[in-house]
Structure 1
Amino acid sequence: MPDTDTKKNNPVVAIDGPSGAGKSTTAKTLATAIGAGYLDTGAMYRAATLAALDAEVDLSSADEILSALNEAKLEIGTTVEDPYARLNGESVDLEIRTERVTAAVSQVAGHKKVREHLISEQKAAINAARKKGGIVVEGRDIAEVVAPEADLKVYLTADEKARASRRALEIGATASDTAEDIKRRDKADSKTTKPMEAADGAHVIDSTKLSVVEVVAKLLALLNDRGIDD
């Protein structure tokens, strides 16, 4: 268990929430503000999915997916400046955001054994960050499963229209198409995580009418309330 001084100077912030709520931008901005690392767990699942697809394994088989992951070298950067995704030494930052990966990631992430494998990697990254400035971790089950002992737990949400518009702007699609995709992903992810529910002890922030600066200001205030300086 980290001592009090370590937690004060190297905080772990867990940001959960559904797709399009603004988790990534908020997490990166907060990490920059407090000089902490940054971990996008979604990118890790996407990279794992790409590894499985490239290996042409049966995506309905957790064992085959794990075999592919054990044979591949998967790296996820934990700095705001370069939150890279690499597979076997090659950058896959763009490839993991393609429709091919997006369409398969929920199936891959739905396997308990696969999730346990990746969560173990995520926990290791968080523990390492405890020693060098802390870390802001974002995803869909961070506060409850990945970092239940986080110093600050946040559930970031927004209404469906705002979520669809933000996601559409991010990937260059129409809001209507994105809205349907978000519903599909929420339904699929709800089988293994709780994307529409805040973890116990989490601060719920509705970002629908808030700018990133306003959201981050709220998070900094919450950290300061806990005696963690930015």
Structure 2
Amino acid sequence: MEAGELSTVVAVDGPSGSGKSSVSREVARRLGLAYLDTGAMYRAATWWCLDQGVPLGDGPAVAAAVRDLPLVMGMDPAAPTVTVGGRDVGAAIRSTEISSQVSAVATNLDARAELGRRQRELIEAERSGGWSGGRGVVAEGRDITTVVAPDADVRVLLTADEAARLARRAREVHGSDDAAAIAATRDQVVRRDADDSTVVEFQVAADGVVTVDSSELDLEQTVVAVLGVVGRAGDPQARAPR
């Protein structure tokens, strides 16, 4: 990257159903930045372990499998992709089977360390080139603001109350937010957040991290709110919503 050129890293953390994936993708699209879904990396690692017959309860075996994970992340926010060993697993990793088991990988500290290392490499690549041509990246997950990219230019904790998060995830997975759909979704949201919170804090903002509560906001309003945080951070690349 030539002297004088600028790159931006926007880090977004939050619990399940807070809207962080949809919001982060749209923020990245509007700012012309790359988009990194770190949660998809954990899902891909879970899919890989199951595909390779690795017992998720065997911590060392899971860590070894993750170190060998042949993962490629496509970081175009308009069409992000997840490829493992040349196979597009973007749809497969969103299955209920993966959702119900991903915490086994996400709470494996050695697996987290390996995936965190890869995430930092991807972020650094976008600072100097990559899909964005060096403009930067919006990275979202659960420990981006505190562990993976604590020096990000903008750090946001995107949250929402439990009822809003359950309803959103139910509509996403089941196409409805009626009582049955919410009940069927509860494990994916509440239990997974409880499991993952044993190894990382993503429900309370760390020092310097701006909280955006989307409980009463729709997607567009939340995107505008996050873009506002970027703008107030003094990022010269921040642009008005369009």
TM-score, reference length from structure 2: 0.88
CA contact (8 A) 2:63 2:108 kept: no
CA contact (8 A) 1:161 1:179 kept: no
List per-residue Cα deviations over 1:13-51 (Å, max 9, x = no partner): 011110000101110110011100000000000000111
Spell out the pairing of 1:12-27 with structure 2 (5 A cutoff): 12-27=9-24
Is 1:227–2:234 an aligned residue pair? yes
Which residue in the other structure is 1:189 paired with?
Answer: 196
Identity, % of aligned positions: 39
Counterpart code for 2:234? G
Counterpart code for 1:165? A
Q: What is the root-mean-square deviation in Å for CA atoms of aligned residues?
A: 1.9
**Aligned-residue offset at 1:172:** 1.3
SS at match of 2:151: coil
CA contact (8 A) 1:160 1:179 kept: no
Is 1:101–2:103 an aligned residue pair? no
Q: Name stretches of at least 5 consecutive residues in structure 1 with no aligned partner.
A: none
Distance in structure 2 (CA, Å) of the matches to 1:162 and 1:184: 16
Structure 1 residues 5 and 164: CA distance shift in structure 2, 3 A: farther
Distance in structure 1 (CA, Å) of the matches to 2:184 and 2:98: 17
Structure 1 residues 88 and 217: CA distance shift in structure 2, 3 A: same
**Aligned-residue offset at 1:214:** 1.7
**Aligned-residue offset at 1:4:** 9.9
CA contact (8 A) 2:67 2:114 kept: no
Structure 1 residues 70 and 116: CA distance shift in structure 2, 3 A: closer
**Aligned-residue offset at 1:224:** 2.1
Return the match for 1:36 from 28, 33, 36.
33
Which residue in the other structure is 1:69 paired with?
Answer: 66
Q: Name stretches of at least 5 consecutive residues in structure 2 with no aligned partner.
A: 129-133, 176-180
Aligned residues: 227
CA contact (8 A) 1:144 1:200 kept: no
SS at match of 2:155: strand
Is 1:148–2:150 an aligned residue pair? yes
Structure 1 residues 72 and 148: CA distance shift in structure 2, 3 A: closer
**Aligned-residue offset at 1:55:** 1.0
Is 1:11–2:8 an aligned residue pair? yes
TM-score, reference length from structure 1: 0.92
CA contact (8 A) 2:25 2:78 kept: no
Counterpart code for 1:124? E
Structure 1 residues 157 and 214: CA distance shift in structure 2, 3 A: same
Spell out the pairing of 1:149-228 with structure 2 (5 A cutoff): 149-172=151-174, 174-228=181-235
CA contact (8 A) 1:13 1:136 kept: yes
Which residue in the other structure is 2:87 paired with?
Answer: 90
**Aligned-residue offset at 1:5:** 5.0
Structure 1 residues 165 and 130: CA distance shift in structure 2, 3 A: same
Which residue in the other structure is 1:45 paired with?
Answer: 42
Counterpart code for 1:143? T
Structure 1 residues 162 and 3: CA distance shift in structure 2, 3 A: farther
Distance in structure 1 (CA, Å) of the matches to 2:222 and 2:66: 36
Distance in structure 2 (CA, Å) of the matches to 1:70 and 1:15: 25
List per-residue Cα deviations over 1:65-104 (Å, max 9, x = no partner): 2332344411111111221111110111111011221121
